[in-house]
Amino acid sequence: MIDLNDHNVYMRAALAEAQVAAEAGEVPVGAVIVAAGRIIARSHNLTELLVDVTAHAEIQAITAASNYLG
């Protein structure tokens, strides 16, 4: 069962990433990846900065999680 308190923590972290994106002139989307109850990766949209249409928050977070997990 999902603990809603944990869910709120994760959503706030994703929203904080979205805020970083917005402040950088990006589309305000953030993402976090959670494993075993802890955030192992986080990112935000980087499409404008990297001039890369694939640099969406979720793709960046998946890449970071993959690097973290090896």
48 is catalytic: no
Catalytic residue selected from 17, 23, 48, 58: 58
Q: Which long-range contacts (CB under 8 A, 24 or more apart) does 52-60 make?
A: 56/29, 57/17, 57/18, 57/21, 57/29, 57/30, 57/31, 58/29, 58/31, 60/31
Residues annotated as part of the active site: 58
